[in-house]
Amino acid sequence: MPFNTALTRKLGIRVPIVQGGMQWVGYAEMAAAVSNAGGLGIITALTQPSPEDLRKEIRKCKTLTQSPFGVNLTLLPAMVPPDYGAYARVVLEEGIRIVETAGNSPGPIIKQLKQANPPCVILHKCTTIRHAMSAVKLGVDFLSIDGFECAGHVGETDITNFILLSRARQTMPVPFIASGGFADGQGLAAALSLGAEGINMGTRFMCTVESPIHNSIKQAIVDADETDTELVLRRWKNTSRLFKNKVTEQATKIERESTTGKFEEVAPYVSGKRGREVFINGDKDYGVWTAGQVIGLIHDIPTCETLISRIETEAIETLSKATSLIVDKQPEPDIT
């Protein structure tokens, strides 16, 4: 039974589930598996070393799925920033018309993507209502509201989705999806109840058969519980939620104890290169890697097809059950 929300209609997908951009995970195989299962798969642009490599990855994805898929462009502060404009140009030249944007100052990129004919549908990630409002002014089509539970860049305000989603419903003039902490159909039903048009999942998709990371890391997620993440880099106002391991323990110790407060002291511990190695060598303590509190809800490694159909069924059952709680007449009390 297909869902009918603003998200499914706009993107032409069956189930209102987006696979969020994931550095070193969001390759063509991952995106295609999600899209083939009825959700929206997303290739992560910066996982590709150059815009031309992104072109190849997009072309590969087209051979793996006939269904719509998108590209994530994450704009993060860097000493030598990537040529975002060139990545965006490739996205447009390859006919991609769904883009997930995230990070700082997305104005110029959104403008470039919106000038295409037809213009791109933009899903923009925000962790605060203030940022969401700025994104609305830039003309985004959907806000992807990332609660404090989420994996990766949680922002600095620590507001969880229970508040953020309702604030978005109360104040946002554009539709939104819920991101952070979702793994099952009960979560999807809750997000829809709070006014979202669908959900975005990252960590849950890392832990699927098609996710291109070492099986030991998927097993580490299955074995973990919701307390096994750690917030790192708050001191530098770049807070990231990571899987708690030996390296995050060392990094947070330096963060607490450093007398200089120089980022250089912690930089070797939070290196993205070592994080990438973790996914290849399967050693969960080799470097830092991103995961959300939702690891506590993940107990298996299904295919994307199995996962998405299960979420679909659970959401339908949950929403029907909720409807059945409304009755014509107040029942007799259980306690006599």
Binding site for ligand FMN (CB under 6 A): 20-23, 25, 44, 72, 74, 102, 125, 146, 149-152, 179-182, 200-204, 206, 290-292, 294
Quick one: 38 or 82, whose CB is closer to ligand FMN? 82
Decide whether 13 or 291 has the Cβ nearer to ligand FMN: 291
Whether 250 and 258 have beta carbons less than 8 Å apart is answered as no
Residue-by-residue DSSP string for 214-270: -HHHHHHHHH--TT-EEEE-GGGT--EEEE-SHHHHHHHHHHHH-SS--HHHHTTTT
Question: Cβ 326 to ligand FMN, closest distance in Å?
Answer: 31
Nearer to ligand FMN, 81 or 118 (CB): 81
149 three-class SS: coil
Distance of CA 13 to the CA centre of its chain: 17
Q: Which residue has the closest beta carbon to ligand FMN?
A: 202
Cβ proximity to ligand FMN, 38 vs 202, nearer residue: 202
Distance CA 103, CA 125 (A): 8
- CB 84, min distance to ligand FMN, A: 13
Residues 6+ apart with CB under 8 A from 291: 151, 203, 206, 221, 224, 228, 229, 241, 242, 243
For residue 215, how many other CB atoms are within 10 A of its CB?
Answer: 11
Q: What is the closest distance, in whole angstroms, from the C-beta atom of residue 78 to ligand FMN in the complex? A: 13
CB of 53 to ligand FMN, least distance (A): 16
Q: Which is nearer to ligand FMN, 35 or 200 (CB)?
A: 200
| Tokens representing residue 214 in the block | 């070492």
Considering the complex, what minimum distance in angstroms separates the CB of residue 330 from ligand FMN? 39
